[in-house]
């Protein structure tokens, strides 16, 4: 439950050399606190840092206006491809009435206190940290989390600029307007640039409750704008972590355990010394750190090093055994997370039951993990693309034995993340810190693609048991049991402290099953083994929504109902759900009366304060050998994400989600044989390619609601909509992913 | 086991400049570009010619630099993303990418753009099937394939001039 926000905005502005201004704003519960101004370094244009002596000073948004009339928005959230560095500046620029052609972005330093996402305020149970929120870019929270605070910051600065102009011109504030980074006095035709007013505006006290625009006054929000980071992403000039260099840096790869958790017994690097550029190896907790002058030297040397791992150490499970293990657990009651009506009677299986199975998945972002680290004994600088920079910095400080203030974490734009760069195990950052202690010189730890695919932190293996009973032509009881490897940070600690008492992650999408069924029961099993797991884009929604939406079509068929009709009937109390469902059916021109050679399947889902319905149109043709050839013709999406700040980037995120989802629906699978990961690179862990990508059409429904998240929204419905389209042709319920494992299906 | 051979002095032409590199002849072109010549625009992602993020042009042909021994390009002309905006077609492709919001994380886009420029040089107006054939070697994990396809069609129609 989110706590209501009782705090109010509080701002401080300061003049910077050359005539500009720098603005910090914060949430604070104590409006009377006389807090110092944050210190900005105008000389090097670096963002300011909060005064450590100011206990309640927790600024969470920064704007810089330079004398030459440029506005820079310093963004706390990470850019992992989703458009943060465009959407957040748009929100600020809207209320500021800034000239969009003269707005740029800058990544903030790592600091939850300063730059945390207000979405997470009060969520962490972490005392003072809660005042600011966590600086984690996850759960599709960037736009919805920063939206209000960034708008208020822009509006307050605009008000200060108006007051400064009023002083200078000797006219009333009411006689002034703003447009495109100018204050305008219509009566005299005078125009003053924000840059020229900034120094004087910095002397004004910021309004505590600046007036915000009504949506009808928006000039930027709701417009499709080009990404602000497009140029450096098309001319090769953007330095990702993999490209980042510091003087005298060496390169490190780690030989990690062949089985998760195995302990290194001994190593022999005598052959590696023949490699030009090899500089030696060091034992670290995760394995053996191989050091060299550059990537290729280290890669060659690593192949020549023999390692021996302690017998019997390490997880030795085989994924082929998990189906039986998880199914056995699912025959027993779990921890209940939802119980409607007489839902508990569903503890006995209903008349229709299905067991679902979902494999481990790797994130496989295009940029493999890497950490550049310069540890100098009493302080440390780290450069890394991270979705959780404040915690990564804290964890590094702990490993290095430094106070958190001695670690400067420079967050870089990431070549994809999908959750891997917000790691609950903090594996790559801990490892890099250990390597830095061992090697004692500036270095970059790089992961090869093989390291990435075999490195764990997979979407957990999951089994779902769904069971239902019909009453006449509708559904009377519904139960959904999830057995999954836990995604609680530490189940014992969390349950003990009462912070988390249920599987909030692995029950996602099961607990929120949207249909009006009188008796519903959802429970979960937390399973632990030695395979490290982590959230992957849309987390358990991807698996649970697959089970919910395919089982629904199965029940509809048993009840002799059309899947559209039964959904509509069971969503009458949910107008926003109904609206996306009806919109997507209309886009595809699909009605219960449609009779043609195509097959269609639909699925819908709501989370992140957004809703989506997706419809797959496919051709399913039976072959001579009885198998079915499936050609996906088109995927339609109808989206209600509240206010779409940048509709084209929303659409891009939905398209992105579809491709991500098809990769896992069709062939995504990580398998282990006696603990050893079978897959290693894109040949045996395939992801969707151009020729496999169907046509797509996305419609964003108009809405005045505040923005919802869209980064994960496009993922969960794709696989069930596809399976439902195939079900419509074959009548077969496909209870496991990836679908390509099914010998009776051939995908074109 | 492959041992690196002793370093040799090799002359390769990169972006119109003759570069003299003291390298093992087996060293992949990608690492010569990135680590010897400080051209970091060509990306590492798979190391096995599976994803296309390292795509450069060798005598105009799209080539996976991560598996191309540097000795094999001696005497040939290598073009990387860094020089692309100097050509009219390259600049148009980059404008199309910005205009249509093609990049998301952007990490694959150097390779995508190099592959697209090579395609449009060889086939000025490609069909969907020709686009599939030319670009399916380039993975975009953010899934921007529909936008890449759209951009190619609009470029073929003379857009972004």
Q: Is A53's pLDDT higher than 60? A: no
For the stretch A159-189, pLDDT in tens is 999 999 999 999 999 999 999 999 999 999 9
Residue A486: its pLDDT value, please?
A: 82
Does B146 contact chain A (CB < 8 Å)? yes
CA dist., res. A697 & res. A692, Å (int): 16
Measuring CA to CA, which residue among A22, A26, A23 is closest to residue A113?
A26
| Locus of tokens 């102009």 | A165
% of chain B with per-residue pLDDT over 90: 95
Residue B75, min C-alpha distance to chain A (Å): 23
Residue A464, min C-alpha distance to chain B (Å): 28
Q: Is A54's pLDDT higher than 50? A: no
ipTM field:
0.97
Residue A24: its pLDDT value, please?
A: 74
For the stretch A345-387, pLDDT in tens is 766 778 999 999 999 999 999 999 999 999 999 999 999 999 9
Q: Is A35's pLDDT higher than 80? A: no
| Locus of tokens 């290693």 | A680
For residue B103, which residues of chain A lie inside 8 Å, CB to CB? 81, 227, 229-230, 233-234
pLDDT-derived band at A121, boundaries 50, 70, 90:
confident
Residue of A nearest to B24 (CA): A276
Which of B1, B7, B41 lies nearest to residue A237, judging by beta carbons? B41
- With an 8 Å Cβ cutoff, are A682 and B133 in contact? no
For residue A238, which residues of chain B lie inside 8 Å, CB to CB? 106
Residue B3: its pLDDT value, please?
A: 58
For residue A80, which residues of chain B lie inside 8 Å, CB to CB? 105
| Chain B residues 4-43 with CB within 8 Å of chain A | 4, 7, 24, 27-28, 31, 34-35, 39-43
For residue B45, which residues of chain A lie inside 8 Å, CB to CB? 366-368, 415, 449
In eight-state DSSP terms, residue B6 is: P
- With an 8 Å Cβ cutoff, are A366 and B31 in contact? no
Q: Is B56's pLDDT higher than 90? A: yes
Best of A80, A84, A142, A235 to disrupt the B interface (most B CBs within 10 Å) is A235
- With an 8 Å Cβ cutoff, are B106 and A233 in contact? yes
For residue A667, what are its two tokens?
């062939």
How big is the A-B interface in CB pairs under 8 Å?
190
Q: Across chain A, what does the average pLDDT equal?
A: 90
| Chain B residues 78-137 with CB within 8 Å of chain A | 80-82, 84-85, 93-94, 97-99, 101-110, 113, 131-133, 135-137
For residue A690, which residues of chain B lie inside 8 Å, CB to CB? 131-132, 135-136, 138, 145, 148-149
Residue A226, min C-alpha distance to chain B (Å): 6
Residue A132: its pLDDT value, please?
A: 58
Residue A122: its pLDDT value, please?
A: 63
Please, are residues A652 and B104 in contact by the beta-carbon 8 Å criterion? yes
Please, are residues A675 and A260 in contact by the beta-carbon 8 Å criterion? yes
For the stretch A254-268, pLDDT in tens is 999 999 999 999 999
For the stretch A323-335, pLDDT in tens is 999 999 999 998 8
For residue A25, what are its two tokens?
């704003």
User: Which segments within A581-679 are labelled E, that is strand?
Assistant: 599-607, 610-622, 628-640, 672-673, 676-677
pLDDT-derived band at A585, boundaries 50, 70, 90:
very high
> Cα-atom radius of gyration of chain B, to the nearest Å?
16
Average pLDDT over residues B136-143: 98
Which of A234, A296, A656 lies nearest to residue B113, judging by beta carbons? A234
Q: Is A5's pLDDT higher than 80? A: no
Residue of A nearest to B66 (CA): A296
pLDDT-derived band at A487, boundaries 50, 70, 90:
confident
Average pLDDT over residues A581-586: 98
Best of B142, B148, B151, B155 to disrupt the A interface (most A CBs within 10 Å) is B142
In eight-state DSSP terms, residue A504 is: T
Residue A7: its pLDDT value, please?
A: 39
Q: Is A3's pLDDT higher than 70? A: no
For residue A230, which residues of chain B lie inside 8 Å, CB to CB? 97-98, 101-103
For residue B14, what are its two tokens?
């990169």
For residue A538, which residues of chain B lie inside 8 Å, CB to CB? none
Best of B5, B47, B101, B115 to disrupt the A interface (most A CBs within 10 Å) is B101
Residue of A nearest to B132 (CA): A691
Residue B111: its pLDDT value, please?
A: 98
Residue A26: its pLDDT value, please?
A: 57
Residue of B nearest to A658 (CA): B143
Residue A295, min C-alpha distance to chain B (Å): 8
Q: Is A55's pLDDT higher than 50? A: no
What's this model's pTM, rounded to 2 decimal places?
0.94
Residue of B nearest to A368 (CA): B45
Which of B4, B137, B145 lies nearest to residue A300, judging by beta carbons? B4
Which of A230, A365, A683 lies nearest to residue B97, judging by beta carbons? A230
- With an 8 Å Cβ cutoff, are B47 and A80 in contact? no
% of chain A with per-residue pLDDT over 70: 90
Which of B4, B138, B143 lies nearest to residue A659, judging by beta carbons? B143
Q: Is A58's pLDDT higher than 70? A: no
Measuring CA to CA, which residue among A497, A703, A697, A524 is closest to residue A614?
A697
| Locus of tokens 């300061």 | A14
- With an 8 Å Cβ cutoff, are B43 and A227 in contact? no
Q: Is A492's pLDDT higher than 60? A: no
Residue B97, min C-alpha distance to chain A (Å): 7
Residue A260, min C-alpha distance to chain B (Å): 22
Residue A60, min C-alpha distance to chain B (Å): 25
Best of B35, B40, B52, B105 to disrupt the A interface (most A CBs within 10 Å) is B105
% of chain B with per-residue pLDDT over 70: 98
Residue A280: its H or E element: strand A278-284
For residue A101, which residues of chain B lie inside 8 Å, CB to CB? none
Residues in contact with A542: Cβ distance below 8 Å, sequence separation at least 6, in sequence order? A358, A459, A509, A536, A661, A664, A715, A716, A719
Give the Cβ contact number of residue B158 at 10 Å: 10
Residue A181: its pLDDT value, please?
A: 98
CA dist., res. A484 & res. A458, Å (int): 12
For the stretch A666-716, pLDDT in tens is 999 999 999 999 999 999 999 999 999 999 999 999 999 999 999 999 999
Which of A226, A413, A692 lies nearest to residue B99, judging by beta carbons? A226
Residues in contact with A423: Cβ distance below 8 Å, sequence separation at least 6, in sequence order? A388, A429, A457, A534
For the stretch A19-32, pLDDT in tens is 788 887 654 433 33
- With an 8 Å Cβ cutoff, are A275 and B43 in contact? no
Q: Which of A139-148, A397-406, A547-556 has the lowest mean pLDDT?
A: A139-148
Q: Is A125's pLDDT higher than 50? A: no
CA dist., res. A607 & res. B9, Å (int): 59
Residue A123: its pLDDT value, please?
A: 53
Which of A234, A655, A688 lies nearest to residue B103, judging by beta carbons? A234
Residue A129: its pLDDT value, please?
A: 47
Which of A235, A364, A695 lies nearest to residue B94, judging by beta carbons? A235
For residue A274, which residues of chain B lie inside 8 Å, CB to CB? 3
pLDDT-derived band at A490, boundaries 50, 70, 90:
low
* Phi-psi map region of A81: left, alpha, beta (phi>0 left; psi -120 to 50 alpha): left
For the stretch B65-115, pLDDT in tens is 999 999 999 999 999 999 999 999 999 999 999 999 999 999 999 999 999
Q: Is A46's pLDDT higher than 60? A: no
Which of B107, B133, B146 lies nearest to residue A366, judging by beta carbons? B107
Residue A34: its pLDDT value, please?
A: 32
Residue A111: its pLDDT value, please?
A: 82
Q: Which of A142-156, A546-560, A630-644, A694-708 has the lowest mean pLDDT?
A: A142-156
Residue of A nearest to B69 (CA): A296
% of chain A with per-residue pLDDT over 90: 80
Q: Is A462's pLDDT higher than 60? A: yes
| Locus of tokens 């208020």 | A152
Residue predicted with more confidence, A738 or A527: A738
Give the Cβ contact number of residue A203 at 10 Å: 14
For the stretch A408-421, pLDDT in tens is 999 999 999 999 99
Question: SS in 3 state form for A373-440?
Answer: EEECCCCEEEEECCCCHHHHHHHHHHHHCCCHHHEEEEECCCCCCCCCCCCCCCHHHHHHHHHHHHHC
């Amino acid at each position: 439950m989110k706590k209501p926000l009782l705090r109010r905005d509080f701002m401080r502005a300061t003049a910077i050399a050359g005539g500009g201004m720098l603005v910090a704003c914060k949430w604070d519960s104590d409006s009377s606190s006389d807090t110092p101004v944050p210190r900005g370094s105008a000389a090097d244009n670096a963002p300011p840092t909060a005064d450590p002596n100011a206990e309640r000073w927790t600024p969470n948004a920064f704007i810089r206006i330079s004398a030459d009339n440029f506005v820079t928005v310093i963004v706390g959230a990470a850019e992992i491809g989703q458009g943060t560095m465009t959407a957040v500046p748009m929100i600020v620029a809207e209320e500021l009435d800034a000239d969009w052609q003269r707005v740029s972005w800058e990544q903030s330093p790592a600091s939850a206190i300063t730059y945390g996402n207000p979405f997470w305020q009060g969520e962490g149970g972490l005392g003072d940290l809660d005042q600011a929120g966590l600086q984690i870019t996850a759960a599709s929270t960037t736009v919805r989390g920063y939206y209000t605070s960034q708008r208020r910051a822009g509006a307050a600065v605009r008000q200060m600029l108006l007051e400064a102009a009023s002083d200078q011109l000797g006219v009333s504030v009411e006689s002034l307007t703003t447009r495109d980074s100018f204050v305008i006095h219509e009566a005299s035709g005078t125009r003053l640039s924000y840059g020229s007013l900034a120094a004087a505006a910095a002397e004004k006290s910021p309004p505590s409750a600046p007036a915000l625009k009504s949506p009808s006054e928006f000039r930027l929000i709701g417009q499709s704008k080009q990404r602000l980071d497009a140029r450096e992403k098309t001319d090769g000039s953007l330095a990702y972590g993999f490209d980042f260099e510091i003087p005298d840096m060496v390169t490190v790869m780690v030989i990690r355990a062949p089985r998760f958790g195995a302990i290194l017994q001994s190593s022999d690097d005598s052959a590696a010394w023949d490699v030009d550029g090899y500089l030696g190896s060091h034992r670290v907790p995760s394995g053996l750190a191989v050091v060299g002058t550059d990537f290729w030297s280290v890669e060659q040397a690593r192949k020549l090093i023999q390692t021996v791992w302690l017998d019997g150490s390490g997880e030795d499970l085989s994924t082929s055994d998990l189906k039986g293990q998880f199914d056995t657990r699912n025959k027993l009651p779990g921890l209940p997370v939802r119980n409607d009506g007489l839902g508990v009677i569903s503890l006995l299986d209903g008349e229709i039951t299905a067991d679902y199975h979902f494999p481990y998945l790797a994130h496989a972002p295009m940029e493999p993990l890497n950490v550049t680290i310069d540890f100098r004994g009493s302080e440390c600088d780290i450069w890394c693309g991270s979705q959780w920079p404040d915690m990564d910095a804290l964890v590094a400080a702990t490993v290095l034995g430094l106070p958190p203030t001695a670690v400067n974490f420079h967050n870089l734009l990431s070549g994809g993340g999908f959750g891997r760069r917000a790691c609950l195990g903090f594996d790559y950052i801990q490892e890099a810190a250990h390597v830095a202690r061992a090697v004692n010189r500036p270095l970059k730890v790089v992961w090869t693609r093989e390291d990435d695919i075999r490195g764990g932190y997979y979407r957990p293996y999951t089994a779902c048991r769904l069971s239902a009973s019909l009453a006449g032509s509708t559904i009377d009881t519904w139960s959904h049991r999830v057995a999954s490897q836990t995604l609680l940070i530490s189940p014992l600690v969390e349950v003990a402290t009462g912070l988390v008492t249920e599987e909030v992650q692995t029950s996602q999408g099961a607990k929120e099953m949207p249909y009006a069924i009188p008796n519903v029961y959802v429970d979960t099993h937390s399973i632990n083994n030695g395979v490290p797991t982590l959230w992957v884009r849309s987390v358990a929604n991807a698996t649970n929504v697959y089970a919910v939406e395919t089982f629904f079509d199965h029940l509809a068929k048993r009840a002799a109902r059309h899947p559209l009709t039964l959904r509509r009937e069971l969503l009458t109390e949910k107008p926003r759900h109904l609206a996306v469902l009806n919109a997507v059916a209309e886009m595809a021109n699909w009605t219960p009366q449609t009779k043609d050679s195509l097959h269609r399947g639909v699925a819908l889902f709501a989370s992140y304060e957004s809703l989506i319905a997706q419809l797959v149109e496919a051709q399913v043709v039976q072959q001579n050998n009885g198998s079915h050839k499936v050609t996906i013709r088109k995927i339609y999406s109808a989206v209600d994400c509240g206010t779409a700040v940048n509709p084209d980037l929303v659409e891009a995120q939905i398209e992105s989600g579809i491709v991500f989802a098809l990769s896992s629906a069709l062939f995504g699978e990580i398998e282990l044989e006696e603990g050893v990961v079978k897959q290693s690179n894109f040949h045996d862990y395939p992801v969707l390619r151009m020729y496999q990508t169907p046509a797509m059409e996305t419609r964003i429904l108009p809405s005045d609601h505040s923005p919802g998240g869209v980064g994960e929204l496009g993922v969960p419905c794709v696989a069930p909509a596809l399976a439902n389209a195939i079900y419509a042709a074959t009548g077969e319920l496909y209870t496991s992913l990836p679908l390509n494992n099914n010998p009776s299906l051939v995908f074109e | 086991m492959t041992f690196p051979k002793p370093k040799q002095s090799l002359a390769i032409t990169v972006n119109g400049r003759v570069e003299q590199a003291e390298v093992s002849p087996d060293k992949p072109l990608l690492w010569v570009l990135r680590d010897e010549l400080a051209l970091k625009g060509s990306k590492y992602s798979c190391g096995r010619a599976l994803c296309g993020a390292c795509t450069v042009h060798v005598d105009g042909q799209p080539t996976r630099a991560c598996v191309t021994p540097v000795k094999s390009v001696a005497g040939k002309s290598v073009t990387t993303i860094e020089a692309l905006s100097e050509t009219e077609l390259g600049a148009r492709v980059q404008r199309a990418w910005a205009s249509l919001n093609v990049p998301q994380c952007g990490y694959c886009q150097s390779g995508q753009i190099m592959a697209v420029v090579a395609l449009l040089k060889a086939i000025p107006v490609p069909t969907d099937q020709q686009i599939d054939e030319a670009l399916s070697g380039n993975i975009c994990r953010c899934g921007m394939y529909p936008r890449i396809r759209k951009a190619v069609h609009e470029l073929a129609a003379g857009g972004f001039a």
